[in-house]
Structure 1
Amino acid sequence: MLPLERQKKIIELLTIRKVMKIAELTEEMQVSIETIRRDINLLTRQGKIEKIYGGVKLVQSKFGESTIDERMFSQLEEKESIAQKCSEYIDDGDCIYIDSGSTTYQIAKYIKQKKKLTVITSSIPVVNELIHSDIEILIIGGKIRRNEQSIVAFDYLFNFSELNISKAFICASGITVEKGISDYNLEEANTRKKIIDLSQEVYVAADSSKFGKDVTIGISSLDKIDYIITDDHLPKDFISSFKEIGTHLILS
């Protein structure tokens, strides 16, 4: 197993088990204690994990939003189901936008066989997932946001007005009928606002835990969102409230 694969596996294990001893990681990964210690030291320097007495744990976010490494493995079954449903709305020849986020990242896994597809993205994991496929990839330029593994764009680095996006798949950390969709980071929110304005159809891909939350930065009211695709654990009161508005709610 390559170092990056081992480190990703360590994050995955800690996401599930919360705290692990070094001996447990050594046994789980089937490598020497020296190798595990090197991985732990690197992940600690990157700010992804922290050492505690007798073991290690994930670093908890201080500002409300967890890192993408943490979110990649939380509610994974629901996110994969949502992503697969999203892929059913993507046709050969489309030009689509895939947002940065743990749910929209999963979409990339289900579209590799599409023909003459163009993907515009700000997500480094999406680029890595599609890099060996035949899909045309356009990556938005700008500043790298390390915790999110995304690129937050600025007008002088990318000409948004020239994009011709048929379908945009957007993430959100909060969804309410009254306030619409919201997120934690201003720069990410600004990019999403511009993509929503430019796209012919807008899809929000978010698991059911995001409903009923209105977090730091407002992105858009629901009148600009055509579809919200979520998992089937969404409470019935949310489902009934969406029947009164124009945004279509789709359960995966």
Structure 2
Amino acid sequence: MFPLERQKKIIDLLTIKKVLKISELTDKLNVSVDTLRRDLNLLTKQGKIEKIYGGVKIVESKFGESAIDERMISHLEEKESIARTCSEWINDGDCIFIDSGSTTYQIAKYIKNKKNLTVVTNSIPVITELMNTDVELIIIGGKIRKNEQSVVTFDYLFNFNELNILKAFICTSGITLERGISDYNVEEALTRKKIIERSKEIYVAADSTKFGKDVTIAIAPIEQINYIITDENVNKDLINEFRHTNTELIISE
């Protein structure tokens, strides 16, 4: 394995587990301690990891949204579980919207065999995942947001008024009962606002770490969300609180 490959593997492992011992990394990478230390020294200088006693930990961004590549492997088991549950709400013949994001991307993996399904999306990874299937694909025209691999600033090319979406599966960076759902990027938020307006049913797909966060840009109040699908690690007190709202909280297994 080349040094760059090892270093990427180290980041991938730390993105999942956050903290690893030196002995764990040497076992997983099958390298000597000296080789590992050279990699760790470089990653530390780059500000990607931090050395702690007996091991290392990932340096997480204190501000804003982490990159899509990091989120694709972070909390992956929970996101796959959420996506499987979302797919159970998608029927043959539906016209659905799949949002850009690491959780909604996973939905594409579970709907490839649906019959007469139309998917509207602004996610390039979703398009790639469904390209060689029988799913009818409509991509929103606009500007490419490269770091998120999504299409935004929809008013360039796309007429949303022509859409007739039955179910929209939306991502979010924050969920609170008081403020609803929110995101870091204004263009993503505007696209989601417009999709919510044009869709009959709104599903928010979000892992349990998103609850209790109210980030930069408000997207929609809880009253506009029909369903929130999350993982079983969600705070049990929240489950009771959602029973007093019109939004159904669905726990994936």
TM-score (norm 2): 0.80
Residues matched between the structures, number: 228
Aligned-pair CA distance for 1:63: 3.5
Residue in 1 that maps onto 2:246? 246
Aligned-pair CA distance for 1:59: 8.0
| Alpha-carbon displacement from aligned partner over 1:167-220 (angstroms, at most 9, x marks no partner) | 000001110111100010000000000000100100000011111111100000
Residue in 1 that maps onto 2:34? none
Q: Which runs of 5+ in 1 are unaligned?
A: 31-39, 41-49
Q: 2: distance between equivalents of 1:10 and 1:157?
A: 41
Aligned-pair CA distance for 1:149: 1.0
Percent identical across equivalent pairs?
Answer: 67
| Alpha-carbon displacement from aligned partner over 1:106-133 (angstroms, at most 9, x marks no partner) | 0000000001101011111111111111
Aligned-pair CA distance for 1:54: 10
Kept in 2, the 8 Å contact 1:61–1:67? The answer is: no
Aligned-pair CA distance for 1:52: 4.1
Q: 2: distance between equivalents of 1:156 and 1:53?
A: 42
| Alpha-carbon displacement from aligned partner over 1:65-110 (angstroms, at most 9, x marks no partner) | 1011111111111100000000000000101000001100000000
Residues 1:105 and 2:105 are matched in the alignment:
yes
Aligned-pair CA distance for 1:153: 3.0
Aligned-pair CA distance for 1:154: 2.4
Kept in 1, the 8 Å contact 2:140–2:151? The answer is: yes
Residue in 2 that maps onto 1:212? 212
Which contiguous aligned blocks of 4+ residues in structure 1 show a shift greater than 2 angstroms? 5-21, 27-30, 50-63
Q: 1: distance between equivalents of 2:63 and 2:135?
A: 36
The two structures, once aligned, show a CA RMSD in angstroms of: 2.9
Residue in 2 that maps onto 1:74? 74
Residues 1:166 and 2:166 are matched in the alignment:
yes
Q: Which runs of 5+ in 2 are unaligned?
A: 32-38, 50-57
- Compared CA separation, residues 161 and 231, structure 1 to 2 (3 A): same
- Compared CA separation, residues 236 and 52, structure 1 to 2 (3 A): closer
Q: 2: distance between equivalents of 1:6 and 1:134?
A: 38
